[in-house]
Amino acid sequence: MHTSRRNFPSINTLSAFECAARHLNFTRAAEEMNLTQSAISRQIRDLELQLGVTLFERVRKRVVLTEAGARFLADARYLIEQTEGLVYRTMAAAKAEAMLSIATLPTFGSHWLAPRLPDFLAENPDLAINIESRWSPFAMQDQFIDVAVHFGRPIWAGATCHPLCAEMMVPVAAPSLVKLHRLNSAQKLVNTPLLHLQTRQTGWRDWFEQQGIENKEPFKGHRFDQFSMIIEAASAGMGAGLLPFYLIEQQVMQGSLKVIDPTPLNTEDAYFLAIPDDKAEKPGVVAFTKWIRKQIKNPVMHLDEVDSPIA
């Protein structure tokens, strides 16, 4: 059933509501939007009539959001952000033949993908790229994403997952920590401060069990919600981190981190390239898929090349 778009609030009206809700003051909202207070009040009143709900109420001479207003604010901000993103993506691609939107895990994007992207753009000079961080699967079609780097199992609704590589988690530490705790054997890690990833709570326990090393306190230590934080903490000597080798190639090559034991933790999860079924033939997606597979096959450094303190 077709609904007239006349029933939908304009982006200007939504922006006026969001601004008023952020300030909880119509006068400040008017100043920010370069409008009069009466214009803001009129837009809010029209929006309330259009929605059939009260968005603001006055309590002790203060303007506050109603429960319905608070709920609508979250959706309004999402629509505004989506509209802004659409405009900026279009502007960014104005002088490019095509735009490629990539979703990636945050640390993968900053430590692995971003440093290599100049090579990809050199091969595809007429392509503009848009990169967004994502933690878990989402509806790519709704967010204008062409391809996503995915970790876990090859499952993504509306998309096909193409394998990239397995994950190789290895224990690493700063040279200062290696010296302090005399980390010349994997066994010495039992008495070393450990750094944990909040979403991989059993990582260290699994690694010790795989190595046949008894550790009665494998969960003891500091916790972080991103690999990037663990990389920085480990480099600063805060503790030993269990990290994917591909994320720390540069740190190992530069000597700020040392691989304590090159035996990686075996996991059932892996990295995949998730491509929406309707984007599989898009030239930019085809080019990116070919390029990233080549990068995976030719790493900056192989794990068997590392200089481990274990003799």
Percentage of the chain lying above the pLDDT 70 cut = 90
Where does the pLDDT of residue 103 fall: very low under 50, low under 70, confident under 90, or very high at 90 and above? very high
Please give the domain boundaries of the chain with CATH numbers for all domains.
11-93 (1.10.10.10), 96-165+269-295 (3.40.190.10), 167-266 (3.40.190.10)
b/e map 109-130, b = 16+ CB within 10 Å: bbbbbeeeeeebeeebeebbbb
Angle, vertex CA 124, rays to CA 119 and CA 127, nearest 5: 115
Strands 169-173 and 159-166: unpaired
pLDDT for 1 equals: 45
How far is the first Cα of the chain from the last one, in angstroms, to the nearest whole number?
A: 72
Q: Is the pLDDT of residue 142 over 90?
A: no
With beta carbons less than 8 A apart as the criterion, state whether 215 and 188 touch.
no
Distance CA 202, CA 196 (A): 9
With beta carbons less than 8 A apart as the criterion, state whether 173 and 241 touch.
yes
Q: Which residues pair with 147 in a beta bridge?
A: 102
- Give pLDDT tens digits for 69-82: 999 999 999 899 88
Q: Regarding predicted confidence, which is higher, 311 or 145?
A: 145
Q: Is the pLDDT of residue 305 over 90?
A: no
pLDDT for 311 equals: 47
